[in-house]
């Protein structure tokens, strides 16, 4: 049984939390089947020897939302964060068994929006697969949260996230400024069907694969802050209408 007070306390302090058995083995299998049957011809599907990824995941495979937002996850979000959040970004990662792909320490500092414009506090701007991304004011990033749904057992040998606890509370924190005499690293092992909750400002990294174990993850970011008039979330998807 989940102690929601403990989860909220640790999440606020450390910037992350791992919960097991949010999805059953059968639900994981159904998610993977839906993904494998998707049309991969669009530019949002990226594939090379080290990585397969689907950007704008929920938008590209709309039917996946009902499977992702199952009753347990919907209840979890409502208890921990309230019922006024919505999906603002979604990505699917598939790190193959022999992948040499790694990600150095960083924070998730950008949001996905529908257009570029002159908005105070927003910038710099980039474009990925035809989608505008921008760094928003800090208060937006501080209010957002991310859920990573693990479809494979994940540990340090196949790319489990390495994180710096508490780094989410230090604003924009560059990797080159990490003081390892004062900070510590935690490896976030997550079993298949488990989830990792994290704050976008949490410093995190991922190592190369050293085992023959695949790592597939659904990464979904949630927000609730309004954007300036004329600017919209490009991947907005409501979760309030999901069945309980």
CA 94 to chain centroid, in Å, comes to 14
Strands (E), the chain: 16-19, 45-47, 52-55, 86-95, 103-106, 111-113, 125-128, 131-134, 145-150, 161-163, 186-187, 195-198, 204-206, 215-223, 237-238
Q: In the chain, where are the structural domains located?
A: 4-238
Adjacent-strand bridge partners of 77 = none
Q: Write out the two tokens for 61.
A: 């495979």
CATH class (in words) of the domain with range 4-238: mainly beta
pTM for this prediction:
0.94
Question: Which is it for the CA torsion 191, 192, 194, 198, positive or negative?
Answer: positive
The tens place of each residue's pLDDT in the chain, 244 residues long, gives 899 999 999 999 999 999 999 999 999 999 999 999 987 777 778 766 556 889 999 999 999 999 999 999 999 999 999 999 999 999 999 988 777 778 999 999 999 999 999 999 999 999 987 899 999 999 999 999 999 999 999 999 999 999 999 999 999 999 999 999 999 999 999 999 999 999 999 999 999 888 989 999 999 999 999 999 999 999 999 986 454 4
The residues pairing with 150 across neighbouring beta strands, listed in sequence order, are 217
Give the Cα separation of 46 and 60 in Å (integer).
13
Structure tokens at 77: 């979000």
Write the CA distances from 222 to 152, 200, 215, integer angstroms. Answer: 23, 10, 22
Tell how many helices (H) and how many strands (E) occur in the chain: 6, 15
């Amino acid at each position: 049984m989940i102690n929601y007070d403990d989860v909220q306390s640790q999440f606020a302090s450390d910037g992350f939390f791992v919960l097991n058995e949010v999805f059953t083995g059968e639900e994981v299998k159904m998610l993977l089947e839906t993904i494998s049957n998707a049309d991969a011809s669009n530019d949002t599907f990226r594939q090379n020897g080290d990585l397969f990824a689907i950007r704008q995941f929920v938008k590209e495979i709309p039917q996946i939302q009902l499977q992702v937002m199952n009753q347990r996850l919907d209840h979890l979000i409502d208890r921990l964060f309230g019922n006024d959040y919505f999906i603002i970004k979604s990505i699917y990662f598939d790190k193959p068994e022999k992948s040499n792909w790694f990600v150095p320490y960083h924070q998730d500092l950008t949001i996905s929006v529908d257009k570029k414009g002159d908005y105070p506090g927003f910038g710099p701007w980039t474009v990925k697969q035809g989608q505008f991304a921008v760094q928003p004011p800090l208060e937006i990033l501080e209010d957002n949260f991310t859920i990573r749904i693990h479809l494979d057992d994940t540990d340090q040998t196949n790319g489990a996230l390495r994180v710096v606890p508490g780094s989410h509370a230090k604003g924009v924190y560059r990797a080159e400024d990490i003081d390892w005499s004062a900070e510590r690293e935690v490896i976030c092992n997550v079993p298949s069907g488990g989830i990792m909750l994290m704050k976008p400002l949490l410093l995190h990294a991922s190592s190369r694969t050293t085992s023959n174990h695949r790592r597939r993850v659904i990464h979904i970011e949630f927000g609730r802050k309004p954007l300036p008039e004329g600017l919209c979330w490009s991947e907005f998807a409501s979760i309030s209408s999901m069945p309980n």
